[in-house]
Amino acid sequence: MRMIFKSMNIKLLSLFTIGLTLFACNSGDSEVSESESSESVDEIVISRTQFEAADMEIGSIEKAVFYKEVRATGILDVPPSRRAELSVYFGGYVKEVDLLPGDRVKEGDVLFVLEDPAYLEIQSDFLQSRDALKYLKNDFERQKSLRADSISSEKKYLKAEEAYQSAMAKYESLREKVKLMNIDPDRLSAQSISSIRKVKAPISGTISEMHLKLGSYLKPTEKAICIINTEHLHVELKLFEKDLKEIKEGQKIHFRLQNDPEKEYEAEVHLINRQIDPQERSLQLHGHIAEDSTYEDLYPGMYVEAQILTSSDTLLAISSEAVVEKNNRFYIALVKEEKQEQLIIEELEILPLKKSEEFVAIKNLNDIPENGKFITKGAFNLIQE
């Protein structure tokens, strides 16, 4: 395919961004007729001073990888093990709370304090059952020994055994209740019983929801606080059935946030749900975010747009920055000649084959001379209407 150049011999080109005037190669012919112009070649001369002042750059053809993509949408989320909704087994009045959504907590930190006289009763019952169990155990062992020596009757032995087993059941039940109050039953004593219960964080993370008020009564199983740990964020994407055959675990994912489409993050296909939604004919895809990605701008629930890279081709290509679109056609500023003090530039039309954000593969690659160079940074200012 032949090279297509804009027809003119003499061109004074204003570079709006740098305010420089580019001079035509043949400055002696200041005027050219229309017929002469249609047969001539557009040549732009740039001095080294102008080139450097405009901060231009030169590039050449290079190998680039072009991916076939499957597009998907979804949200950022965290695993169930990194999300906690706190409630209590035993209700109480909120005595202390000093947290707000957004506060960070560590596992084991005290989140809030509850108070209720019923806590005293549970602890007192446990201590009494512990003491009673010791007495009944000794009595049972004594009756067992007497029966063996035929001193005590079978009836007394069975009665002692029944009382001991009943006391053991009550003791174990109360012991578990005390443990549910986050109290160590082995360290509980008559001097340490309290009407106050401290509720601690089960995981480290950030407070995402707060449903407590000082002095209010928190009912059993009522949601009190939510904690979320964002250290293991992942992407949950909706994948349509028609695209399923293209997707495999281990493939790269590029995704952007709806509120910041310019910044790109990387992830990897980790799990593919095998259950297809019968209504939408879609399934869920779980992707792990790259470890070197910054999590500061990422929050659970954020909407994402993603491209799953399914296959690739390595082709000779030119930098996307070098390509300028004009009237639905595409051009590059080809360096026809590079001298010590100046560069001679020609405008060359190209036919894109494949595009990525960084590179463009072209059909008419042969139109670019072997080892040919072209303007990358600054090409837009050279190719004018």
pLDDT value for 221:
87
Distances (CA, A) of 38 to 4, 29, 277, 310, 384: 11, 15, 62, 47, 17
205-231 mean pLDDT: 94
Q: What is the pLDDT of residues 45-69, one digit of tens each?
A: 888 888 888 888 888 888 988 888 9
Residue spans in the chain of domains classed CATH 2.40.30.170? 67-80+231-313
Out of 11-15, 132-136, 340-344, 353-357, the most confident range is 132-136
> Which residues on adjacent β-strands are paired with residue 277?
282
How big is the chain, counted in residues? 385
Q: Which fold has domain 118-180?
A: Helix Hairpins (1.10.287)
Q: Are 255 and 265 in contact (CB under 8 A)?
A: yes
pLDDT value at 276 more than 60: yes
239: pLDDT strictly greater than 80:
yes
Specify the CATH number of the domain 67-80+231-313: 2.40.30.170
Instruction: Give 155's contacts (C-beta < 8 A, 6+ positions apart).
Output: none
For residues 233 and 77, is the Cβ–Cβ distance under 8 A?
Answer: yes
- pLDDT at 32 > cutoff 60: no
> Where, residue-wise, is CATH 2.40.50.100 in the chain?
81-116+195-230
The closest alpha carbon to 6, from 362, 318, 331, 328, belongs to 331
Query: What mean pLDDT do residues 195-212 have?
Result: 95
pLDDT at 149: 64
**DSSP class per residue in 147-182:** HHTT-S-HHHHHHHHHHHHHHHHHHHHHHHHHHHTT
What pLDDT does 20 receive?
38
pLDDT in tens, 298-355: 899 999 999 999 988 888 898 988 899 888 899 988 888 888 888 888 888 899 998 8
**Level-2 CATH architecture, domain 13-66+314-382:** Beta Barrel (2.40)
- What integer pLDDT is reported at residue 384 of this predicted model? 66
User: 81-116+195-230 in CATH: which number?
Assistant: 2.40.50.100
C-alpha span between 85 and 220 (Å, rounded): 13
Instruction: State how beta strands 329-338 and 373-375 pair.
Output: antiparallel
Residues of the chain with CATH 1.10.287.470: 118-180
Where, residue-wise, is CATH 2.40.420.20 in the chain? Answer: 13-66+314-382
Which pLDDT band holds residue 248 (cuts at 50, 70, 90)?
A: very high
Mean pLDDT of 153-179: 90
